[in-house]
Amino acid sequence: MPPEVAARIAVTGVGAVSALGIGARSSFARLVAGERGFGPVTLFDVADQRSQLAAEVRGLRVDEVAPAGEAARWSRSDRMAVLAAKDALESAGLAGGPLSLALGATTGGMFEAEAALAASVEGASSESLAAALVAYPISATAEHLAATIEGVERSVTICSACSSGAVAIVEAAAWLESGRAERALAGGVDSLCRLTFTGFGALGALDPRPCRPFDQARAGLGLGEGAAFLVLESERAARARGARVLAWLSGWAVAAEAHHITHPDPSAVRAIELIRAALAGGGLSPRDIDYVNAHGTATPQNDAMEARALAGVFGDELTRVRVSSSKGQIGHTLGAAGALEAAFTVLALEQGVAPPTGGLESPDPSLPLRHVLGEGERAELRAALSSSFGFGGTGAVLAFERAAAAPRPRPERAARSRLVVTGVATLGPAGALAGASNTAYADPSAAREPAPLALLERLDPARSRRFDHVTASVCVGVEAALAAAALSPARVGLVSGTAFGNVERSAAFLRRALERGARAASPAEFPHLVPSAPAGNASIYLGLTGPVVTVSALETSAEAAFALAADWLDLGLAPAMVAGGADPGDPVVARALGSPGPGAGEPSARAAWLVLEREDAARARGAAPLARLTERVEGRAGPTALLARLAAAPEGGRAVVVLGAGEAACRGALAGSSWEGARLVTLSRDLCARESLGAFGAAVAVALVASGEADLALALASEPGQAYASVFERSS
């Protein structure tokens, strides 16, 4: 029988690390008191920067949390994440799992990697620089958390820039709503680093003073760092163990603006839709909301857009709804912001107090909001919103209700439908292929010459001037997949997998700033360095307005993207999702890993994308699915455990197994399983290197089923710490 679906989602624990302190409750107490965490930057030299202030977390020592002898491999982000996660689990009365882990991040261990970059200016070898820069991918923190916390069953690392932490909470909700998990630890982390400080300075976005959200004299944001997690449980699981419920996560929404890589849409149309969707999902109306923890970055454009969005949703109700921004006290913590602000929103409901907006002295009269000034205001808070908006335009809104709230009718959710693949597109040595033609890659011995596809030349030069090869691969490949599915991009979401982000481009940006000074840093270049930038740029270029994010899981990044896309279809966040990955051909990564791989430094493309839809919706629009996704499992237990959870392969059926990353481990797991006798397909490393490997595997599996060469196809991959299995069958 399928797992029981959660009736409500309980928040049973909160944990946080911020410039106001170690611990969620101590940080919140200082927040309510109106204290501010800004001070002179001490982590790196900012003498030539527009601002010398940030909200640093003081007194962090990595060796206090890292296993013995491993502190050199642990980052500042890892340290904050472990402290916040343990705080959340202790708050929930838990020692560990079983639980699932969703983490939002943007910087990873960049702060530590930059030390090698700084040394390279003084003559360090490019090999040592390369090794340092890829030693701290954003997914490393989730791995270190899983090594520290007992019982983590699955994990995912999500990047959607400044909304990452909130989006991770939505992914946890997807797991609980579908019954794939009963308990999750979800949140975000980011540490300060030269890259982000220099980049935001180059954009002219930093206020030389502590930032002043919604103030008429506001002059930009103030950067901060931190981490926060929520423990989320199905109501049944929380009740069964007698857990204390702090609040209910009642509604959520994630979507992209498709407007601009840094500037919000001044019309606030998408932000209004997001807020309304989060309310509707929880069965809430504007009359039920008493407090909003706003994104409130203190930039002129963002604050004006957000105030316009709140006015568009709340109308006359806005005069009574308290609004504040935590960034005036803890800074903009980027990937951690949505998680920290969600934790503070939960505590506001639990304690009946709306925190203030630090630094707000002269509210902008053009933004008619009911601000909380000075110190927190005691009030009976029934329900509250926490809003986050990120680079590339992906926003997330979370709706919470106080613990005493009675269950309320929620909108009737459509019955879960099977998922189907309606479009496939690959860019590889055989050129641009679609659908069943991808059976060409099922023979790894077939001789193929790389096919330069001149992807940038296929794009409108006026709208793609700053695009790199990876972004072009995403734009061209996703557009081809949508065309193969005969699907309009409107309301469609995108999940792109990446292992390291654009290391070479980030290194070049930092070298220039370090060698020539911060004023030499390019403001036009910085927004394209965030790991989620290629997906964000693609959403803007193609007009994708569903949820658009990036996930990171080293060689199984594409598999992680596919899994998250399926989760969000189950959750009803979009009518269709595109998932896949593109190899960056990054020479810095290639040198560091000692294997250039295909496309390294070359213009030839390696990318694969699949369009996933609910079968009922696809049939309703007249689509002819290529294959049906019958089963999907993922987890940290390894491929053998995953195969044991799958239905047995039918005897005598024409089954095929397509192997991705971790070929040796997967072959070992197949031995003795019901899939042992299936035809094996291994993908040549001449075909693709890392990020797109799993996407090519899924494309080949779907193609073999669609062409009639197989009745059933299993795409199987394994990375130390995570494994993925997806089963496709012919769709009649």
pLDDT (tens digit, 9 = 90+) per residue, 131-142?
Answer: 777 778 999 999
State how far the Cα of 10 lies from the Cα of 93, in Å rounded to an integer. Answer: 14
Do 106 and 138 contact (CB within 8 A), yes or no? yes
pLDDT, position 683: 87
State how far the Cα of 259 lies from the Cα of 494, in Å rounded to an integer. Answer: 15
Q: Is 198 helix (H, G, I), strand (E, B) or coil?
A: helix
pLDDT (tens digit, 9 = 90+) per residue, 359-411?
Answer: 999 999 999 999 999 999 999 999 999 999 987 779 999 999 999 999 988 77
Say yes or no to pLDDT of 2 above 60: no
The pLDDT confidence band at residue 504, using thresholds 50, 70 and 90, is confident
Say yes or no to pLDDT of 124 above 70: no
- What is the 8-class DSSP label of residue 179? T
The residue that leads in pLDDT, 155 or 128, is 155
Strand partners, 576: 613
Alpha carbon separation from 147 to 65, 109, 152, 636, 721 (Å, rounded): 11, 17, 8, 11, 9
Say yes or no to pLDDT of 597 above 60: no
Residues designated catalytic: 162, 295, 332
Handedness of CA 53, 385, 306, 163 (dihedral sign): positive
Note the pTM of the prediction, 2 decimals.
0.96
Rg (CA), the chain: 24
State how far the Cα of 113 lies from the Cα of 294, in Å rounded to an integer. Answer: 32
